[in-house]
């Protein structure tokens, strides 16, 4: 119960921060995220809207730089997000702060059967398109997060979600996306985006999310541009 209460407090703090930012555009919000307790706030944001827009949002908040540099990074991310939307119409692409959160589920062609970790042909077709965009924008780091439905134990589903995330990351690496850009994690069943009591909801929850954030090269270039 104490853990739940702490999470609720963190979520409320994050929500209060972003209520005042609702009228700002994405690049301006990028200049705010990361100022101060970026990692903690990012975790709260992920808990707050992870079920709607992707658990990877927490990683985006934690990696934010803030200030004028963040605004410049945000502009670069706007362009990449638009290209992802055009290349993969079924994917849910969200611009959050200084990064991009992409939710891949059955609707976008990246999905897994029950208790499965195999990258099927439909998933490969989508990942092929994704790899082209990722290689076009090399100055980013990638957080790949796997998820499951609620069938099975929490411990088993945690391992299963990690295998799914690794399967997606591994396929992208084989297509030429450098391995050092990836951080892979499994979230298990704890962050559903749909109702696990239905067949359709379970299919949506068996998903992978991708957070895209600036790497050191992009940050360095943005800082230099901010000083001009």
- Identify the pLDDT of residue 33: 39
pLDDT bin (cut points 50, 70, 90) of residue 193 is confident
CA distance 188 to 70: 31
pTM for the model: 0.76
As given in the structure block, the two tokens for residue 167 are: 């399967």
pLDDT in tens, 123-152: 899 999 999 999 999 999 999 999 999 999
pLDDT in tens, 155-179: 999 999 999 999 999 999 999 999 9
- Identify the pLDDT of residue 72: 96
Cα-based angle 222, 227, 228 (whole degrees, multiple of 5): 100
Own/partner pairs, 78-85, CB within 8 angstroms, 24+ separation: 78/26, 78/27, 80/133, 80/137, 80/140, 80/212, 83/133, 83/136, 84/130, 84/133
Class of domain 2-227: alpha beta
pLDDT bin (cut points 50, 70, 90) of residue 100 is very high
Query: C-alpha dihedral over 45, 47, 48, 54, to 10 degrees?
Result: 80
Residue 20 has pLDDT above 70, yes or no: no
- Identify the pLDDT of residue 25: 45
- Identify the pLDDT of residue 112: 85
Residue 105 has pLDDT above 90, yes or no: no
Task: Round the average pLDDT of the chain to a whole number and report it.
Answer: 80
Residue 14's nearest CA partner among 40, 44, 49, 34 is: 44
Q: Where along the chain do its domains lie?
A: 2-227
Span of 47-56, 60-69, 203-212 with lowest mean pLDDT: 47-56
- Identify the pLDDT of residue 14: 36
């Amino acid at each position: 119960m104490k853990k739940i209460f702490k999470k609720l407090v963190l979520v409320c703090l994050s929500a209060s921060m972003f209520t005042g930012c609702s009228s700002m555009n994405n690049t301006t919000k990028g200049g705010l995220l990361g100022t101060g307790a970026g990692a903690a706030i990012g975790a709260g944001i992920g808990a707050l809207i992870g079920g709607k827009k992707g658990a990877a949002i927490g990683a985006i908040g934690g990696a934010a730089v803030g200030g004028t540099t963040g605004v410049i990074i945000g502009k670069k991310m706007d362009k990449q997000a638009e290209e992802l939307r055009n290349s993969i119409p079924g994917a849910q692409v969200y611009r959050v702060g200084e990064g991009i959160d992409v939710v891949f589920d059955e609707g976008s062609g990246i999905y897994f059967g029950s208790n499965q970790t195999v990258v099927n042909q439909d998933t490969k077709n989508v990942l092929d398109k994704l790899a082209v965009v990722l290689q076009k924008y090399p100055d980013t780091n990638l957080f790949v997060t796997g998820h499951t439905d609620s069938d099975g134990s929490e411990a088993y589903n945690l391992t299963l979600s990690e295998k799914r995330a690794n399967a997606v990351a591994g396929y992208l690496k084989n297509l030429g996306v450098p391995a050092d850009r990836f951080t892979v994690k499994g979230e298990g069943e704890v962050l559903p985006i749909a109702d696990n009591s239905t067949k359709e909801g379970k299919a949506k929850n068996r998903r992978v999310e991708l957070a895209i954030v600036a790497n050191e090269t992009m940050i360095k270039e943005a800082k230099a541009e901010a000083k001009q």
